[in-house]
Structure 1
Amino acid sequence: MGKPNYCAIKDCHNKSGDKGRFGRTIKLHKLPKEGIVRSAWLRAISRKDFKPSTYTSVCSDHFPRGEGQSILQPSISHSESDQPKPCCSIDVIEQTHSYSKTPMRTLCESGTESENVPLSTASCTKNDKITQTNTPPAELSVQVTRPEIIIDDIASSDEEVLFYTGLPCYQAFKALFDTLIAAGADRMNVDDEIMMQEKSYRKLRLIDEFFMVMMRLRLGLLLNDLQYRFKISTGRVSRIFNSWISLMATCLKSIVFLPPLQTLQQKVPDCFKNFSDTRIVLDCTEIFIETPSALENKSLTYSSYKSHNTFKSLVGVSMTGAVVFLSNLWGGSASDVHITRNCGLLELLEEGDAVMVDKGFIHIQSDLKKKGVKLYCPPFMSAKRNQFSKSEVECTRRIASARIHVERKMEQIKNFRILQGILPISLSSKADAIFFVCSALTNLLPPLVK
């Protein structure tokens, strides 16, 4: 019997030498001889009572690059292969905690649980039980050229996982990845016709896409660096990063929230025993940005304090050191008080709450007083005297001892080195998501205050 020259996929009539998608000449790729690769191809062929032969082949139209070796599983049918895949809607991550009626998945079921951070990895060990999800079909894909580094290379070392991703252990990394997959990461469309035709195109496993995104956040790597490490084009690196960072910002909203004071008071750290009604500790932080070309934007983002163009955010931290509030990014010219009054935080506070701040926030005292909210702020030196009283010195010491933890939280956030350099204008549309994700990820670390 002669060698067949047609595609075995159901309803596909392509033959070797025909013109296929994007003007490419059709090539036939033989069915793999054995293993999971062969099984995946047979499922895609999807023909009832089909008996494969040594000549069974699938045409190049069913592979992203037209090369059967570049991806494990061809598309399900010819009609699907001709249609671009739509970007699916993403479900928000679910949550459960003592003060929410909504169920949520946890990262590590064992380990110390922080009372105000629903996803806790405070004590991740090799034996932790992880919430698993079924590996999506896209995770079965393989690539021609192996990246310089993949997550498997460091999975056995918590120290290396922390260095490369900012997460405390591989169990935390995998659990967060599984949560993102459940929220729609496997349905994100980061390809287009141009990408499919790029010679530099290599399909990464989804888990390595996520690893690459975490590396960029944690190490502040440039696109060209990631292109080299992961053997893909800079355009694809950018598309992958933008898609993942948007999904992560949506999902991680569930772990940045302001609990009721009664919940926070269930476990008050020693340094807050004199301020046990503190619901939130506030401070602002800034990240440098590339100087905008428009004069108005230059003015709005210029920070006289930093002598540079910046974005600025109000960060709220609980008594245990968890991030419980994040404002959107503002231009660096905005004052701490202006941001506090206009970011929506005041609407979340209730009578009986207390807020701890430094001297730069003293002018919000009147706003808080109207809501019956107390303000803890270090005393000011009066113009009529040149020294503090003994009680004022003690008050300053106690507030400083408690507020030190918000400064430690700021350091944790800035440990994601993408926030340490100058953020390029090309990332300005993703700046809010980047800052939010970096801040939220610190809630997956062990509590700052016990």
Structure 2
Amino acid sequence: ITYSAISAIFNINPTTVTRVFYNILYALASQTKHFIFWPDKKTVFNTLPKAFKSNYPNCRCIIDCTEIKTEQPSTVEQRVYMYSHYKNTYTIKVLVAITPSGFISFVSKCYGGRSSDTFITNDCGFLSKLEPNDEVMADKGFPGIKVSCENVKSVLVVPPILHNRRFTEEEVLQTYSVASVRIHIERVFSRLKTYSILNKITVDLLPSTDEIIYICCVLTNLQSTYYVTRIQY
């Protein structure tokens, strides 16, 4: 709903609507700044779903980047930075980490759609959260962070990558095993994107996307949780 529509409904000036929106947005972001946090190992492992315990007992988090469409930016520099070849449109990207139980534990700042998953992960400060022996689950778009994870003595868990050959039976089973629990983050993204403000970010909201996405993540965390129940392979 537009500012003009709200101003008509409540019979107030559109400028007042805009001011109230931003005042509330920044107030919410400030007051909830500790709502998304990195739980300690003990907390994560004490809430580890059964689906993880047999194959991924040291899983600290599942990570992925999500893209959110935007209107066409006003400057050429912004258009180059924000154009996503994957989505074939202008987007912003954020890295999100969730615990195995589905709690959003890390949200990066926003990046242009042109930025790679590897660049965002290495740049946003996520790696500084990891501790020795932590397992980080990701998809095939994150092979470039393997060395970065090893540098902090953590383990990157991704599905096997096919190199001009067929998967072995063991690799097929490993692919299913990773996918059966990694899909958990896709469910979180589905919940996150139920907030219609993320359907398409307007140009006037671009300077405030960090706060908007953060608040949507906070609201997602406040929903009832669920656990992975898929069978392990």
- TM-score band, normalised by shorter chain: over 0.9
1:336-372 Cα shifts (integer Å, max 9, x gaps): 0000000001111111111000000011001111111
The 3-state SS of whatever aligns with 1:360 is coil
Deviation at 1:382, TM superposition (A): 2.3
TM-score normalised to the size of structure 1? 0.49
Q: Hey, what does 1:229 align to over in structure 2?
A: 9
Amino acid at match of 1:437: I
Following the alignment from structure 1 to structure 2, what is the Cα–Cα distance between the partners of residues 405 and 228?
42
Shift, 1:227, TM fit:
2.0
Q: Which residue of 1 aligns with 2:196?
A: 417
Match of 1:264 in 2: 44
Query: 1:442 and 1:289 mapped to 2: Cα distance?
Result: 21
Residue number in structure 2 paired with 1:247: 27
1:293 Cα deviation after fit:
2.3
Structure 1 segment 172-187 matched on structure 2, within 5 A: none
Q: Is the 8 A contact 1:271 1:398 kept in 2?
A: no
* Correspondence for 1:72: none
Aligned to 1:333: 114
Q: Which 4+ runs in 1 deviate beyond 6 A?
A: none
Q: Residue deviations 1:182-240, cap 9 Å, x none?
A: xxxxxxxxxxxxxxxxxxxxxxxxxxxxxxxxxxxxxxx22122223333222111111
Distance 1:443 1:244 in 2: 19
* 1:310 pairs with 2:85: no
May I ask how many residue pairs the two structures share in their alignment?
227
Instruction: Provide the residue aligned with 2:18 in structure 1.
Output: 238
Long gaps (5+) in structure 2: 229-233
- The amino acid that maps onto 1:314 is L
Q: 1:396 aligns with which of 158, 170, 175?
A: 175
Report the CA distance between 1:262 and its aligned residue. 2.0
Question: Secondary structure at the residue paired with 1:309?
Answer: strand
Matching residue's letter, 1:358: D
How far apart are the structure 2 equivalents of 1:265 and 1:351? Answer: 15
Give, in whole Å, the separation in 2 of the partners of 1:393 and 1:231: 61
Separation of aligned partners in 2, 1:226 and 1:373: 49
1:359, 1:378 within 8 Å by CA — same for their partners in 2? yes
- Residue 379 of structure 1 aligns to which amino acid in structure 2? P
In 2, Cα distance between the equivalents of 1:382 and 1:288? 32
Higher strand fraction (1 or 2): 2
1:382-425 deviation digits (Å, cap 9, x = unpaired): 22x2x21222111111111111110010011110011012x121
Deviations 1:142-177 (A, max 9, x none): xxxxxxxxxxxxxxxxxxxxxxxxxxxxxxxxxxxx
The answer to whether structure 1 residue 284 and structure 2 residue 62 are counterparts is no
CA RMSD of aligned residues (A): 1.3
Aligned to 1:212: none
Secondary structure of the 2:32 match is: helix
**Mapped partners of 1:343, 1:294: distance in 2:** 24
Residue 404 of structure 1 aligns with an amino acid whose one-letter code is: I
Match of 1:197 in 2: none
Which residues of structure 1 form unaligned runs of 5+? 1-220
Q: Which of 208, 213, 226 in structure 2 is aligned with 1:435?
A: 213
Q: How do 1:9-408 and structure 2 match up within 5 A?
A: 221-273=1-53, 274-383=55-164, 385=165, 387-408=166-187
Q: 1:379–1:396: 8 Å Cα contact kept in structure 2? A: yes
Tell me, in whole angstroms, the C-alpha distance in 2 between the residues paired with 1:331 and 1:382.
30
Q: Distance in 2 between matches of 1:401 and 1:225?
A: 44
Give the percent of matched residue pairs that are identical in Structure 1 and Structure 2: 35
TM-score (norm 2): 0.93
Higher Cα Rg, which structure: 1
> Shift of residue 260 of structure 1?
1.6
